[in-house]
Each structure stands twice: as structure tokens, then as C-alpha cells.
């Protein structure tokens, strides 16, 4: 496919519509990121162009600078669809890990308070938060009825069981609950997979990190978020586990069957789609919202066990004072108003970045904008950004979600073969706990772009503004 594009400014590139594309495609990149896209044969840009062929798309189809190849949509992809113009919903534009997302906790501790108990705390976190493929909790007993409540109520259900504080909910995207969830649209197999996994991390790039604020760039926004240099923070990255994966799998198969009925021509079967207003589209959105609520509840329950781990390591509740700064989603589809009309915005490996005064922001953040949490790799750093007016104008209020892979898991394992990454990280002052050395090799720092460069592109393109940089000191991986 012809992937010719024009450069509009230093960080913005446009692929004019061609062939079956119904809209232009826009992506954000630096010279180095552009070189990587070229080295992979522009495979992820071809996916972005394919997204632009879907009915009812609102121009343009977008990709953030952490773009890489994914299922159907590229990871880092953003696309809005207009229900009034026959717009569609596509599970590939949400992803298999529905509402995979990140939660940032801020503590009352400073880095120097942590150092004497760092290894002990790492052990307590690893004990209390199950991680890895198929990981399960054995101390939280759900049945089908209570799980249906989780799917409908999200993080609020967890708080009402005593696993959290009501104030936590104020600082979660959408209050920790997507409206329109329909537990009846979730298959029995998805229920089976979800029952034992609430409160677990999962595997791959999911993690729990204890960090500290290494640098503040925007004092006003940092003060609004309650962040200060030297402060200990916690970043939790996980999603809807096997339940969300099953929801996606179930509906991809259904959409493949019904797409011809609605006259939807798929240039890629992984873009299986149905009209938003169709029975199949509404069924998926109900199941997707239910899975998203499971993910919000999952991160809420993990937060409870993180607080317990700090207390087991000798930090009294008044000392650690762990509070939610923000919790946001990476993989979902939400109805939002942009350009004066309601559209369904798919974000797949991308996140909201709403600017000052935007709806659905906690009152404490309304004057500065939404926190945007951008994890890096386990050996370097992560960033807190803030949403901007530019994101609202250019990207449907969206930004990047992380560093983005540059090496496949197989290539990463091959490249680090023979190295002791655990020892390397320890030499850098990072305590690592992981279920297997294979996971560690797959998640080596060099498997990812330098998140600082991704953030530079986001800031240069006006999609976000740096607030703080966080440096890891404890990493728990599946």
C-alpha cells in the first residue's frame, strides 16, 4: 500500500485519503520514531489507513507517537465515529484488554523514608498482589451474582465492600463506572474467567511500581495534583484480565458474521465492526462497559492491597497516606462531544487528555486540566502530563499512553540473552519482583522507546504538557 504522507509541522504528519479511505489519517512522530516506522515497513501506518476506511469515521484517524502494530487498529490509535452518519463500533479499536489503564497513587512519604524498608516493601507487595498469566486471588470470594454487581457498578462496588475510601472514586475517570454496562451481554465463559481474577495484575507489560517524583516541570499543575519532588508514588498498570479478553473475542466473532449484513466492507478482518445503533453494536457496547467496570474495580482492589502492603512494611496509614491522584483508561470507546456533535471515540493504546474546564474532570483539577499518566519502562522513568486545549482541538482530547514497544517479545528475549537484568536493575537502585525471568527478558528497558522522546512529541504537538517525571525504585511484574 502507498503510505505517502506530508509533514505539516515538526511533529505532525498527514496521510491524505486515498483508495478506500473515507478520511485523512494523522500521526505524531519525531525523526527517530519516523525512522522506526520506516524500518517496520510502515505496518502500523497501514493499519491506521485501514481504520480510515470504516463507515462514519470523523476526520481524521489518529495515531499517537507511541504507535506500534496491534490487532486491527494500531496501538496508539484514536478514531471517532458519528452514530448519525452510520458510524460503527469496532472491538479492534478498543482492544482485547478492555480498559487496560493506569492508576497513580501519591503518598505522604519521601524517598529517604522508603530506602531502609525498600526490599521488605517489595516482598510485601509481591505477596499481596498476585501477578502473572492466570494469576488468581484466593482471599476475595465472588459468585456470579456479586460479579454481575462489579460489572454494573465498577470501583464503587469495591469501595462499598470496605476496600477503599469514597474519596478514591472522585479521582477515577468517569467515577470508576461506565454507564450503559449490561452484565447480561457478558458470556458465561467471560464470567468464569473473571471470577477469580479481581485484584490481580496479569502479565506482559502490566506492572506495579513504587516510584518517587524526580523532577517537577509545572509547579502549578503539580500542586493541584498534590505532587512534589522527592515524594513517593505508586503506579498500577492493569486491566480487565481474562474477562475483558473474552468479551472482545466473543464480539469480534459476532461482528465478522454480521458485517456483510450491514454492507460493511472490511479491508482487514481484524477491523470487524457493526453500526453503533445496531442490536449487535449496542450489545458490544454494553458488554464492553461491563468489562471496563471490572477493570476499574480491579485497580481499586489492588489499591487496597497496596495500602495493606505499606502497612505490613511498617508504614502506618497516617504515614503512607496513599491517595488516588488519578485513574484513567487506555482501551475503551466512549461517547463524547467534539466539534458540537456526539461521537463514539475509540482509544486503543491511547488515553484521554482533556484540557482545563472540560466536563468529567474532578473539581480539584478543573482549572489545570486532566492528569495524563504515561508509563515508561521498568528501568528508566514515567511521566505525569496534563491535558490541553490543543488536545481537544487536534486529537479528540487524546494523548499517548506509554512508551510503545520497539522490539517484539521474542526479539527482546534474544537481545538480552545471557544478561542478568535483575542484577542490572538492582545496581540502578531498583528492586524487581517477577514471576519468571522470561517476563523480565520480554520487558527489558530496550524493548521500548524512550518515553522521554514520546512525551517530547506529545508536548511539541500541543497534546499535553509535562508536569512531573517519576523514577522507579520497586517493580512488580507478572
- CA 461/CA 450 separation, integer angstroms: 17
Annotated binding-site residue? 378: yes
Annotated binding-site residue? 377: yes
Annotated binding-site residue? 404: yes
Tell me if 91 sits within 8 A of 66, measured CB to CB: no
Annotated binding-site residue? 97: yes
Annotated binding-site residue? 376: yes
Annotated binding-site residue? 286: no
Partners of 334 in the β-ladder: 345
Query: Would you please indicate which residues are annotated as catalytic (active-site) residues?
Result: 401
Tell me if 333 sits within 8 A of 281, measured CB to CB: no
Annotate 454-468 with b (16+ C-beta within 10 A) or e (fewer).
bbbbbbebbbbbbbb
Q: In the chain, how many H helices and how many E strands? A: 17, 19
Place of cell 542484577: 423
- CA 151/CA 178 separation, integer angstroms: 9
Annotated binding-site residue? 207: yes
Q: Are strands 350-352 and 398-400 parallel, antiparallel or unpaired?
A: antiparallel
Annotated binding-site residue? 298: no
Annotated binding-site residue? 403: yes
- CA 139/CA 54 separation, integer angstroms: 45
Which residues, 6+ apart, have CB-to-CB distance to 391 below 8 Å? 353, 354, 355, 397, 398, 399, 462, 463, 464
Annotated binding-site residue? 205: yes
Residue 238: name the closest of 187, 294, 167, 288 by CA.
294
Annotated binding-site residue? 68: no
Annotated binding-site residue? 382: yes
On the 0-12 / 13-18 / 19+ scale of CB atoms within 10 A, 162 is exposed
Q: Residue positions in the annotated binding site for Mn(2+)?
A: 97, 206, 237, 330
Q: What residues are designated binding site for GMP?
A: 205-209, 330-331, 375-378, 382, 401-404, 477
**Binding-site residues from annotation:** 97, 205-209, 237, 330-331, 375-378, 382, 401-404, 477
Amino acid at each position: 500500500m502507498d503510505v505517502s504522507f506530508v509533514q505539516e509541522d515538526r511533529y505532525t504528519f498527514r496521510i491524505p485519503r486515498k483508495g478506500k479511505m473515507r478520511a485523512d489519517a494523522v500521526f505524531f512522530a519525531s525523526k527517530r520514531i519516523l525512522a522506526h516506522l520506516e524500518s517496520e515497513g510502515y505496518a502500523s501506518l497501514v493499519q491506521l489507513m485501514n481504520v480510515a476506511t470504516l463507515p462514519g469515521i470523523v476526520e481524521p484517524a489518529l495515531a499517537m507517537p507511541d504507535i506500534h502494530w496491534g490487532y486491527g487498529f494500531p496501538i496508539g490509535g484514536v478514531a471517532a465515529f458519528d452514530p448519525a452518519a452510520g458510524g460503527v463500533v469496532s472491538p479492534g479499536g478498543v482492544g482485547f484488554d478492555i480498559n487496560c489503564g493506569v492508576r497513580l497513587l501519591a503518598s505522604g512519604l519521601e524517598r529517604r523514608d522508603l530506602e531502609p524498608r525498600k526490599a521488605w516493601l517489595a516482598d510485601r507487595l509481591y505477596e499481596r498482589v498476585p501477578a502473572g498469566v492466570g494469576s488468581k486471588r484466593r482471599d476475595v470470594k465472588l459468585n456470579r451474582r456479586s460479579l454481575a454487581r462489579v460489572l454494573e457498578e465498577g470501583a464503587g462496588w469495591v469501595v462499598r465492600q470496605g476496600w477503599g475510601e469514597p474519596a478514591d472514586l472522585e479521582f477515577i475517570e468517569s467515577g470508576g463506572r461506565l454507564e450503559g454496562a449490561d452484565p447480561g451481554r457478558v458470556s458465561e465463559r467471560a464470567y468464569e474467567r473473571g471470577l477469580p481474577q479481581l485484584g490481580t495484575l496479569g502479565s506482559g507489560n502490566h506492572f506495579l511500581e513504587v516510584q518517587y517524583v524526580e523532577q517537577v516541570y509545572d509547579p502549578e499543575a503539580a500542586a493541584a495534583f498534590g505532587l512534589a519532588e522527592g515524594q513517593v508514588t505508586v503506579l498500577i498498570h492493569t486491566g480487565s484480565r481474562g474477562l475483558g479478553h473474552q468479551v472482545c473475542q466473543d464480539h469480534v466473532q459476532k461482528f465478522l458474521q454480521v458485517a456483510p449484513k450491514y454492507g460493511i466492507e472490511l479491508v482487514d478482518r481484524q477491523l470487524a465492526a457493526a453500526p453503533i445503533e445496531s442490536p449487535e453494536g449496542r450489545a458490544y457496547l454494553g458488554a464492553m462497559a461491563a468489562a471496563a467496570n471490572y477493570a476499574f474495580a480491579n485497580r481499586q482492589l489492588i489499591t487496597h492491597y497496596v495500602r495493606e502492603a505499606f502497612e505490613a512494611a511498617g508504614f502506618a496509614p497516617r504515614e503512607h497516606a496513599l491517595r488516588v491522584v488519578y485513574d484513567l483508561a487506555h482501551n475503551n470507546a466512549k461517547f463524547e462531544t467534539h466539534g458540537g456533535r456526539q461521537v463514539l471515540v475509540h482509544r486503543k493504546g491511547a488515553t484521554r487528555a482533556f484540557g482545563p474546564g472540560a466536563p468529567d474532570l474532578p473539581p480539584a483539577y478543573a482549572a489545570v486540566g486532566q492528569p495524563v499518566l504515561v508509563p515508561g519502562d521498568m528501568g528508566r522513568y514515567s511521566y505525569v502530563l496534563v491535558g490541553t486545549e490543543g488536545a481537544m482541538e487536534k486529537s479528540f482530547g487524546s494523548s499517548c499512553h506509554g512508551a510503545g514497544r520497539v522490539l517484539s517479545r521474542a526479539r527482546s528475549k534474544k537481545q538480552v540473552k545471557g544478561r542478568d537484568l535483575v542484577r542490572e536493575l538492582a545496581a540502578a537502585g531498583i528492586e524487581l519482583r517477577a514471576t519468571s525471568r522470561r517476563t523480565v527478558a520480554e520487558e527489558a528497558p530496550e524493548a521500548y522507546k524512550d518515553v522521554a522522546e514520546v512525551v517530547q512529541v506529545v508536548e511539541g504537538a500541543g497534546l499535553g504538557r509535562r508536569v512531573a517525571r517519576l523514577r522507579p525504585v520497586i517493580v512488580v511484574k507478572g
